[in-house]
Amino acid sequence: MFYWNVRRGPMWSELSPIQRSLDDLARKMNLTTRAPFEPWLTTAYIFPAINVVKEGNSYVATAEIPGINSEDLEIKVEGDTLSIKGERKPEELGEGVSYHRKERTSGTFQRSLTLPSKVEANEVKARYAEGVLTITLPIEKSAQPKQISVTTE
C-alpha cells in the first residue's frame, strides 16, 4: 500500500483516513496477499504460483493448487509453452449457513508460461498429490546440448 510520511499539517491528517479506507478496500477485494508495509505495485496476485527447475534433460514444474479435483485440471504443451487451466468449484453451503469470512476464491483460472526451450510433448507426465501438481517436461532432443569430440591431426 502507499504510505505517506504523515508529520504535521491539516492536509496530511485529511489523507490518513483515505489511505486506511483504500487499504481496507484492497484487503476486502483480496487484491493482495502482501504485508501492509510492502509497496502497492511490487507484487501481484498470480494463481497458481509455479516453480520450474531443470533436472537433467527435463524441466519440472510444480504448482500449488489445493482443493481442486484432478479431473478439473487441463494441461497443454505447445512448443516451449506450458499452459495449466482449471476450475475450483465453490463450496456447497447447507441451508441456513452463511459466510462469516470468505477468502478462498472459486472459479476458473489459466496460467501459461514460456520454457527456456521446446519439450517433447508426447513424453510429458503430470502428477497431482496433496494439492501439488508436478509436471515433468523432457527437453526436446534437438534442444539438448551435444558433446562434440575434437580430433587431432
pLDDT for 35 beyond 80: no
- Which has more confidence, 37 or 118? 118
Structural domains in the chain (count): 2
Q: Are residues 119 and 60 in the same domain?
A: yes
Element housing 84 (H / E): strand 81-88
For residue 97, tell me if it sits in a domain.
Answer: no
- Which has more confidence, 53 or 32? 53
List the alpha helices (DSSP H) in the chain. 10-28
* Residue-range definition of the domain harbouring residue 1: 1-44
3-state secondary structure of 19: helix
Q: Are residues 39 and 67 in the same domain?
A: no
**Residues 6 or more apart whose Cβ sits within 8 Å of residue 32:** 26, 40, 43, 45
pLDDT for 128 beyond 70: yes
Q: Are residues 71 and 129 in the same domain?
A: yes
Q: Are residues 12 and 79 in the same domain?
A: no
**CA–CA distance from 144 to each of 54, 56, 85, 112, 123 (Å)?**
12, 10, 28, 23, 15
For residue 79, tell me if it sits in a domain.
Answer: yes
pLDDT at site 63? 93
Q: Are residues 130 and 73 in the same domain?
A: yes
